[in-house]
Amino acid sequence: MNKQVIIDKTLAGKKDNIVVSIGASSCGIAAGAEAVFKAFAEEIKKNSLRVELKKCGCLGMCSAEPLVEVKMPGKASVVYGRVNKEIASKIVTDHLLKGTILKDYVFEANKGKQLKIVLRNCGVIDPENIDEYIAREGYDALKKVLSTTPETAIEELKKSGLRGRGGAGFPTWMKWSLTRASKGELKYIICNGDEGDPGAYMDRSVLEGDPHSVLEGLIIGGYCAGAKQGYFYIRAEYPLAIARIQKAIDQALASGFLGKNILGSDFSFEVEIRLGAGAFVCGEETSLIASIEGESGRPRQRPPYPSERGLWGKPTMINNVETLANIPVVFLRGGSWFSEIGTEKSKGTKVFAVTGKVKDSGLVEVPMGTTLREIVFDICGGIAGKKKIKAVQTGGPSGGVIPEKHLDTPVDYDNLQKLGSIMGSGGMIVMDETDCMVDISKFYLGFCVDESCGKCAPCKIGGYQMLKILERISEGKGALTDLDLLKSLCQTMQKTSFCGLGQTASNPVLSTLRYFEDEYKEHIEEKKCRSHKCSGLLNYRIVEEKCKLCGLCQKNCPTEAIEGSRDKGYKIIKSKCVKCGKCYDVCRFDAVQKG
């Protein structure tokens, strides 16, 4: 098949330009992209060069930010990683002026196995410039859809096999069709940009790097569902994404892609932004609706589903950011083109934010069916340092861990579910042998307990009780019967919680129990944490050679377990030590060690 995702109409006219693009999404800026941009601007001016210098979205290799891409006329582009001011000036004098590539700073990511549909424009265009989006077939899909009926468009979408990328994988065409079929003049469409999974940032990158593609998807969705009003619900923690979406809305309004009688048709559509305020449960669709209505984000009874009774009681369609970013391509290339990518039941690509103990942490977009091993090892360079991989976690607090032995599983909705995890929104956290599975499960459950809205008892009380048990185990005070208790609590929560948060909160616990029960048992029976994570099971000691005799540890010990003085040196008395870790925290010289 023809794998070209997007046709770039700018390329022809601009072939003779030198183009320097600097990745300026949140992570790029955090790593110093602004200073690098300035350095380039100055150097280019100093050398009176004619260069198109621009800021673009995330290039995807987040651990090597700031990233700079250099395109010389007639040559393949080169990406530099970890660029600073000095390297920037070198790039100008050597690469731009003389054409010599600075090999030491080139960042080569294995891009081969990736296929960029959602990220087609991220890192390529200036997200704040609508013309660059338009030049890459932007809003062409909207034109196409507006020239047909919503029914025909939904038929096309059905052919693509696109499923929701927000977690559950519900067929997108069905959602659109159900909302369309619901009675009522007034309908709404919402883009779910809450991205609550801690440790995932795919949606942020798309919102920041290619806001128009999400907006175009939303407008098309509005047309197909029969909605006149759309909302972006974005978490307040993403200020840059919010600013860029607002800018995109303003530009689209000015260009006639939004507002009254879009592109001369009789379809009118308006979009507004609403912000989250730091509540994970607001990613759940009925809570999200409550939040847009200005209330606390507590879930509501389903059915009736939002497609029937949603925002202010009207039929409402909720789609995830990544789902919407796929929409323009589905209509540009056609449903059957799209359906050729991926596996039998999971079509298209999936974007993953691969983080944790991986070497080249970053954003990856692969066809469905790519194995976890390919993602972690071939694309992201494997584990950082000399450690061994232990597991990969997908689906965030609602997902589970997948142990090393299952890494060759092709990733799709159904396979991940069979392994006890879920696709989720695309967080992928790589863990190595220093990560303790009891600790991980405590971490995720703790998150859900914090974020539980308190509406139903199984989630509010069950979660809390499970957390207490896990804490007990991690302190070496657990009993073997606790494991059965945990399992039965997990099942109760799954079956009886009111919303998805509680129903899935036990997944991390269940999946770690399924694959790493021996580690739990070790904590209970041998009072041992093989990863040296659970502080209650550690022994602390002071290493004489490193100790500078400052006495800080002794001063901070709550139980007077540290003996000694400035001239004699210090020692921890095991019997008095409560393993709080204070001495370890306060030591400036790494002289307190765990073991």
Partner 1 sequence: MKKEIGNVEIIIEKWKGIKGSLIMALHELQHLYGYVPQKGAQQISTAFKIPLSQIFEVITFYNLFKLKEPGKHTIAVCLGTACYLKGAPDILNELKVLLKVEEGGTTKDGQFNLDVVRCLGCCGLAPVMTIDGEIYGKVKKNEIKDILAKYKKKEQK
Ligand X SMILES: Cc1cc2nc3c(=O)[nH]c(=O)nc-3n(C[C@H](O)[C@H](O)[C@H](O)COP(=O)(O)O)c2cc1C
Residues in touch with partner 1 (CB under 8 A): 26-27, 29-31, 61-63, 65, 195, 197-201, 204-205, 236-239, 274-280, 291-297, 312, 353, 355-357, 361-362, 393, 396, 427, 429, 431, 435, 443-444, 447, 453, 556, 581, 585-586, 588
The interface with ligand X within residues 482-541 (CB under 6 A) comprises: 499-501
- Report 188-207 residues binding ligand FES (CB under 6 A): 198-199
Instruction: Give the separation between CA 144 and CA 137, rounded to whole angstroms.
Output: 11
Beta bridge partners of 71: 19
| Residues touching ligand X, count (CB under 6 A) | 23
168 binds ligand X (CB under 6 A): yes
Tell the smallest beta-carbon distance from residue 334 to partner 1 (Å): 33
CB 170 within 8 A of CB 323: no
501 binds, among partner 1, ligand FES, ligand X, none (CB under 5 to 8 A by kind): ligand X
Q: Which residue in 63, 160, 182, 192 binds ligand X (CB under 6 A)? A: 192
320 vs 531, beta carbon nearer ligand X: 320
308/435 with CB nearer partner 1: 435
Phi and psi, residue 522, nearest 5°: -60, -40
Q: Which does 259 bind (CB under 5 to 8 A by kind): ligand FES, partner 1, ligand X, none?
A: none
Nearest to 504, CA basis, from 413, 420, 432 = 420
Report the partner that residue 194 touches, choosing among ligand X, partner 1, ligand FES, none (CB closer than 5 to 8 A by kind). ligand X
User: CA 240 → CA 26, 63, 531, distances in Å?
Assistant: 7, 19, 38
* Least distance CB 542 / ligand X (angstroms): 45
| 292-321 residues near ligand X, rule: CB under 6 A | 318-320
Report, in Å, the least distance between residue 502 CB and ligand X: 8
Nearer CB in complex with ligand X: 318/529: 318
CA 150/CA 321 separation, integer angstroms: 21
Tokens of 288: 């999200």
Inter-residue contact 178 to 307 (CB < 8 Å): yes
Within 10 A of 368 (CB to CB), how many other CB atoms are there? Answer: 22
| Residue whose tokens read 């998150």 | 447
Instruction: Please identify, using beta-carbon distances, which residue of 171 and 199 lies nearer to ligand FES.
Output: 199
Residue 357, helix vs strand vs coil: coil
Query: Does 403 contact ligand X by CB under 6 A?
Result: no
Selected range binding ligand X among 34-42, 104-112, 188-196, 332-340, rule: CB under 6 A: 188-196
Q: Could you tell me which stretch among 254-262, 277-285, 545-553, 573-581 binds ligand X (CB under 6 A)?
A: 277-285
User: Strand 389-394 and strand 316-320: pairing?
Assistant: unpaired
Q: Taking the alpha carbons of 525, 526, 530, 535 in that order, is the dihedral positive or negative?
A: positive
- Closest to ligand X by CB, 346 vs 474, is 346
Closest approach of Cβ 51 to partner 1, in Å? Answer: 27
In terms of DSSP bridges, do strands 400-403 and 362-367 run parallel, antiparallel, or are they unpaired? Answer: unpaired
| Binding-site size, ligand FES (CB under 6 A) | 2
Q: Which of 69, 126, 128, 285 binds ligand X (CB under 6 A)?
A: 285
Q: How far is the CB of 203 from partner 1 (least distance, A)?
A: 9
Question: Would you tell me how many other CB atoms lie within 10 Å of the CB of residue 46?
Answer: 11
> Which residues 119-178 are close enough to bind ligand FES by CB under 6 A?
none
Nearest to 431 by CA among 408, 470, 400: 400
Look at residue 585 and give the partner it binds from partner 1, ligand X, ligand FES, none, a contact being a CB closer than 5 to 8 Å depending on partner kind: partner 1
Return the structure tokens found at 538.
Answer: 């550690």
Query: Is residue 446 a contact point for ligand FES (CB under 6 A)?
Result: no
d(CA 523, CA 302): 41
CB of 198 to ligand FES, least distance (A): 5
- The three-class DSSP label of residue 359 is coil
Q: What is the helix, strand, coil percentage profile of the chain, to 5?
A: 45, 15, 40
Handedness of CA 312, 315, 321, 324 (dihedral sign): negative
A 10 A CB-CB count for 247 gives: 16
- From the list ligand X, ligand FES, partner 1, none, partner contacted by residue 168 (C-beta under 5 to 8 A by kind): ligand X
Radius of gyration of the chain (CA): 26
Residue whose CB is less far from ligand X, 499 or 552: 499
Residue placing its CB nearer to ligand FES in the complex, 237 or 378:
237
Q: Rounded CA gap, 372 and 428, in Å?
A: 9
Q: Which of 284, 360, 365, 519 binds ligand X (CB under 6 A)?
A: 284
* Residues 6+ away with beta carbon under 8 Å from 342: 161, 348, 349, 367, 368, 369, 412
* Closest to ligand X by CB, 218 or 561: 218
In the complex with ligand FES, the residue whose CB is nearer, 199 or 382, is 199
Asked if 476 and 526 touch (Cβ cutoff 8 Å), the reply is: no
CA dist 474 and 495 (Å) reads: 27
Binder among 120, 136, 165, 533 for ligand X (CB under 6 A): 165
Would you tell me which residues interact with ligand X (CB under 6 A)?
164-168, 170, 175, 192, 194-196, 281, 283-285, 318-320, 323, 425, 499-501
Would you tell me which residues interact with ligand FES (CB under 6 A)?
198-199
